[in-house]
Structure 1
Amino acid sequence: MKLKTGINKYIVTKTQSEKNKYEDDYVTNTMGAFGYLQALACGTGALCRSITAWNTMSIVFLTSKTEFACTKFKDGLSRRVQNSTCYEDCAEYEYNSVVFRETLISTFGLICDRAWLVSFTQTMTMFGLALGVTGLGWLSDRFGRQKALLLSIATSFIFMIVAPFAPNYWAYNICRFLAGFGSGGIMNIGVVYNMEMVGPKYREIAGISGLIADGFAIMLLAAVAFHSSTWQTFFLFFGLLSILFFVVMLFMPESPRWLVSQRRTEQAIEMVTKVAKFNRLNTSHIRETVSKAVEELDTEHTEVQKRTLLDLFGTLELAKVTTVTCLVGFVGGTCYFGIHHYATLLGLDIFIIVPLMGLLQAVGNILGAPLNKYARRKVSLFCTLVIVAIMMTVLIFIPDGNWGCAATTGIAVIFTSGFFGVYYIFVNELYPTPLRSMGAGMGCGGAKVGAMVAPFIANMQTHWMSSTILAVVPFVGAALCLLLPETKGKKMKDTVD
């Protein structure tokens, strides 16, 4: 500390302030800021997010470009037909796709007057996610992060396995909605769980780890699609693979911060002691440290309350934060899913462009790490959205099929991913522990609403209109970011004011 001349008070330097913040954290003082078990738990939480990526991004293969031709007319006469042309008196069509022998389009006949149902499928999935991030986030605030995460994973893999056997389009959509609902919980709770398992020093990297895994999950989609003959085998593979994550998560501990916020002192002491022993740390002071953390909550005259979504609007400041984060999330979701889907419609090889988008997403998420560590949250969000807007503006003037399309959309993907690398950390820091999952869920829900409209934007007949919308929306989002309070370097709150 430095003594300021002429004034009897000490000025705490930034470095000393950060040091005190780390040392005052009860998680750091008991089970370590980032030990062996936290690495395992955060790795599991990060990999579980792959399930969400598989559910949300599989649409680019399930409904890949499919040509069709009429092979039988109702009057039984032979005629010369044109490919991908609808005929009112056609009795039967045959289909051809470069991805699968049988696609979702060919299975359920999603062409001509039913073509809009292709985009509606993704809308149903995203509607499920939007409800899941909020509903399952509420459950995690009430009953614990690990339990809610297990429920989310189970819901996802069960309906991912059932979906390929759906007898009709609407039954399939119900399965996709429910799989999306579970994926929404994973998407939200996984980040919260990771951030609460570590000390403040590693909060950013723990939160962003799951986003990095998303990029590689998308790359795996392309690899499996290349070796699958039908959409059913493709989707079934990922449903069965998701069971592995459920089994591993069964052995992971509950969030210590959630246990303390709920005044479950003995459970917190027991859990923290197990983790500390696994991390080969001294455990003699754990009871005293955890008890003190609980007592500090009590001295603030706070009581354990059963929180509801209405609490997110309980004060003027909370209402403002919740509203703006939802709107910013909507912008991010529209850009992220719109650009990913749009990139597959630009005349480029889907088996090249999708893994490339996945790789660039991983790069963008990695970019989020230094942004989180060195830059202010609002500045990072503002700059990433402005760059996305500029790239999509440039894309308006590039013809389809040109590799300039890949370059501009690739840069847009990097910075959209970088945006979410900061956004998910930011939205979790904005809320106290009792409201964190619900608050983060509302923000993620906004992103999923954006994802619901994204396919309709990407599938517009005139592609310059898609680019124009995807250019204007991030400019609006950038302006909204400036309305939020800064959280960089501030301690995460355990109580509601």
Structure 2
Amino acid sequence: MVDFGAILRTIGDFGLFQKIILLGLTLPNVFLPLFFCSFLFMESDPDRHCNTDWILQTDSNLTTDEQLNLTLPREDDGTFSKCQMFVPVNWSIGSIRENGLNETRGCQNGWVYSRAMYEATVVTDFDLVCDKSYMAEVVQAIFMSGLLAGSFIFGPTAESYGRRRTTQLPVVLMQIFVIVAGVSPNVYVYIVAQFIVGTALGGYRMNSTVLATEWIGVTKRSFASCLSQLFAAFGQCVMAGLVYGIRDWRKAQYIIGGAQAFVTLYIWWIPESARWLLEQGRTEEANQLIRRVAAINKRKIPDNLLDEVTREREVKSGGIKDIFTSAVLVKYLLIVSFAWFSLNLGYFSVIFNVGKFGLNIFLVQFLFGITEMPAHLLCIWFLELIGRKKSLISTLLTGGVFCLLTLAFPRDCAIVITALVTAGKFFLNWAGSVCLIYIQELFPTSVRQTAVGFGSIAYRGAGLMSPLLNMLAIYHWAIPILVFSSLAVTSGALVFLLPETRRTELPDSANETEGNRNMSTKKMGSDSNVVEQNGRNSTKL
């Protein structure tokens, strides 16, 4: 029976069809970072004071300074209180001036916010200040929890319902709930909407990449993962420009919804993975897709090849059970998941400390995006030049060592430490691109999506744990750096136990994974010769 890799080489493994589907599935990654903007770009403690317009009923000609002096207590540093006001009284303005007000309470009628940086944010619209200031962090945590939930839900689900459906559904959910978040009347509706958006975003990132990868041949297979990461980095730059120009989170949500509508329209034309269809025994559907791809790529396929495709195949159920019945697959899953966890723990620990750089937040966000782009471009080249295994080992070890080196300098060496941390973040981000392609190539089609889902759980879990790790700095500033750097170095060492997958076919069964991981280009060449010979024989007939 001809394997799917041989079929791809016959119909074109990186022709016009692959380029169109690759662009269609990776382009939305430009928009995905924009979904973070409503809670990333907000002042957690904006300049404000209690609304005390009640006093204007006694004298509507009061100046702003007079109003504040009469109605607000002052802090020890002489500034007006942000969370307290004097209790309103039914006195004349003369009595208030003469006797003054002494009894205080929390703000009763909302706040008046400074609009110096933003016109409106989630914090100012929902009054997430003073006794509700913790809600800003809750919003971020719930969104990150949504990303984690997306890995739980859409990873294993794709094994049963296909890559196409579990790519389309997240797009629709993001389209609906990004608008719902924008029109939210209160913070609770906003939180629910953001959780669903996070869930859908996490599902789309995984499934779209796997769907594109399963249509691409071995020589260009790294493109799907690296391009999705590259577009996401560009999206960070777009996000900085969007918020800098808009400064109103609700308007930004509507613009994001408009951009997402473009994806929602064309996503229905993205085809299913023929590789997955064959594994499910749906050979007639796979046959039709293969014919369409061959026509788009302007390739001719021999009839006997289609006979091989439509022949009854054993249906592989897949799922997490298949992974845990194989010691080899369990080892692969643990090592790659640990590497993904370690690099993301370090990456987000650095990201969440960005405010300590002392630069303009829009500039920092733009620089973070623009400096990530070279990592993903280099990743495409290095993956084919030195392979997946050496790429992952070198990036994890280098990123971890750069971060560890910051401990050798005193804290007042800000420039040196910032340079080392930025370099470490660069290599950890690069390692993330390698992990995304590596985990797909290590597992067979029947459990590939499940493995990517579990790897993503580790990845997203690290994002949730990174703020907690940074909190350990209260005991000693070096503890977070020591922990995530050591984990990165350790995970890099463990990658030595993994096989190389460069220029090998994606495995379709656990047997191929366990016993045939050295499928070289020599074997691929022989498969192509068989197909070509069959084609010539078919022509003679």
Percent identity, please: 22
Map 1:249-398 → 2, pairs under 5 A: 249-283=267-301, 285=302, 287-292=303-308, 298=313, 303-395=314-406, 397=409
Distance 1:72 1:400 in 2: 42
Distance 1:22 1:261 in 2: 11
For residue 38 of structure 1, what is the aligned residue in structure 2?
A: 18
For residue 50 of structure 1, what is the aligned residue in structure 2?
A: 30
Which shows bigger deviation, 374-383 or 425-434? Answer: 374-383
**Conserved? CA contact 2:72–2:81, under 8 Å:** no
Work out whether 1:474 is the aligned partner of 2:484: no
> Post-superposition shift, 1:406?
5.0
Distance 2:351 2:239 in 1: 13
**Conserved? CA contact 1:433–1:495, under 8 Å:** yes
Residue 392 of structure 2 aligns to a residue whose secondary structure is: helix
Distance 1:371 1:70 in 2: 55
Distance 1:379 1:322 in 2: 18
Query: Unaligned regions of 5+ residues in structure 2, if any?
Result: 56-69, 85-104, 512-541
**Conserved? CA contact 2:403–2:485, under 8 Å:** yes
> Which residue identity lines up with residue 227 of structure 2 in the other structure?
S
Deviations 1:272-323 (A, max 9, x none): 211221222224x1x532442565x94xxxx314333333322222223223
**Conserved? CA contact 1:313–1:322, under 8 Å:** no
Work out whether 1:492 is the aligned partner of 2:510: no
Deviations 1:233-284 (A, max 9, x none): 123321221121121221222222112222222211211211221222224x
For residue 414 of structure 1, what is the aligned residue in structure 2?
A: 426
For residue 79 of structure 1, what is the aligned residue in structure 2?
A: 73
Residue 40 of structure 2 aligns to a residue whose secondary structure is: helix
For residue 11 of structure 1, what is the aligned residue in structure 2?
A: none
Work out whether 1:26 is the aligned partner of 2:7: yes
For residue 240 of structure 1, what is the aligned residue in structure 2?
A: 258
> Post-superposition shift, 1:399?
5.6
> Which residue identity lines up with residue 29 of structure 2 in the other structure?
R
Distance 1:330 1:98 in 2: 39
Work out whether 1:139 is the aligned partner of 2:139: no
Residue 158 of structure 2 aligns to a residue whose secondary structure is: helix
CA 1:233–1:473 in 2, change beyond 3 Å: closer, same or farther? farther
What RMSD in Å do the two structures reach over aligned CA positions?
Answer: 3.1
> Post-superposition shift, 1:404?
4.8
**Conserved? CA contact 2:395–2:427, under 8 Å:** yes
**Conserved? CA contact 1:224–1:234, under 8 Å:** yes
Deviations 1:359-378 (A, max 9, x none): 11111111211221122433
Distance 1:478 1:236 in 2: 42
Deviations 1:41-86 (A, max 9, x none): 001111123343333566431x345433443699984322356977
> Post-superposition shift, 1:354?
0.8
> Which residue identity lines up with residue 331 of structure 1 in the other structure?
S
> Post-superposition shift, 1:339?
2.3
> Which residue identity lines up with residue 333 of structure 2 in the other structure?
T
> Which residue identity lines up with residue 375 of structure 1 in the other structure?
I
CA 1:272–1:355 in 2, change beyond 3 Å: closer, same or farther? same
Q: Which one of the candidate residues 148, 151, 156 is aligned to 2:174?
A: 156
**Conserved? CA contact 1:330–1:449, under 8 Å:** yes
Q: Which one of the candidate residues 80, 85, 90 is aligned to 2:106?
A: 90
**Conserved? CA contact 2:15–2:297, under 8 Å:** yes
> Which residue identity lines up with residue 25 of structure 1 in the other structure?
A
Distance 2:486 2:111 in 1: 39
CA 1:351–1:474 in 2, change beyond 3 Å: closer, same or farther? same
Which shows bigger deviation, 355-364 or 454-463? Answer: 454-463
Residue 509 of structure 2 aligns to a residue whose secondary structure is: coil
**Conserved? CA contact 1:364–1:416, under 8 Å:** no
For residue 517 of structure 2, what is the aligned residue in structure 1?
A: none
How many residue pairs get aligned? The number is 468
Deviations 1:156-195 (A, max 9, x none): 2211111122232232111111111111111101111111
> Post-superposition shift, 1:418?
0.8
Distance 2:348 2:462 in 1: 8
CA 1:471–1:495 in 2, change beyond 3 Å: closer, same or farther? closer
Work out whether 1:438 is the aligned partner of 2:459: no
Which shows bigger deviation, 373-382 or 85-94? Answer: 85-94
Larger radius of gyration: 2
> Which residue identity lines up with residue 256 of structure 1 in the other structure?
A
CA 1:320–1:352 in 2, change beyond 3 Å: closer, same or farther? same
Distance 1:316 1:96 in 2: 60
Residue 47 of structure 2 aligns to a residue whose secondary structure is: strand
